[in-house]
Amino acid sequence: MSAQSVLFDAPGPKARRRHAILAVVGAVLAVVALYVVVRKMQTANQLQGYMWEPFLTDRSVWRDYLLKGLWGTIKAALISIVFAAVFGLVFGVGRLSTIRPVRWVCSVVVEFFRAVPVLIMMIFAFGVYTRNGVFANDLNPLAAVVTALTLYNGAVIAELVRSGVHSLPKGQGEAGLAVGLTTGQVLRSIQLPQALTAMLPALIGQFVTILKDSALGTAITYTELLTWSKTLGSAFTNTVPAYIVAAILFITMNYLLSRLAVTVEKRLNRRGKTAGGAVAAAPLPGGAPADATPA
Whichever domain contains 229, its CATH number is 1.10.3720.10
pLDDT for residue 48: 77
pTM of the shown model: 0.75
Q: Using CB atoms within 10 A of its CB, is residue 35 exposed (0-12), middle (13-18) or buried (19+)?
A: exposed
pLDDT for residue 194: 72
Amino acid at 257: L
pLDDT for residue 193: 74
In a domain, 85, yes or no: yes
pLDDT for residue 75: 94
In a domain, 189, yes or no: yes
Burial 162-200 (b: 16+ CB within 10 A, else e): bebbeeeeeeebeebeeeebeeeebbeebbbebbbbbbb
What is the domain count for the chain? 1
pLDDT for residue 2: 43
Q: Average pLDDT over the chain, rounded to whole?
A: 81
In a domain, 23, yes or no: no
pLDDT for residue 261: 74
In a domain, 28, yes or no: no
In a domain, 105, yes or no: yes
pLDDT for residue 208: 87
In a domain, 146, yes or no: yes
Domain with 241, as residue range(s), is 69-271
In a domain, 5, yes or no: no
pLDDT for residue 171: 65
In a domain, 228, yes or no: yes
pLDDT for residue 8: 55
Spans of the chain, pLDDT less than 70: 1-9, 166, 169, 171-190, 268, 271-295
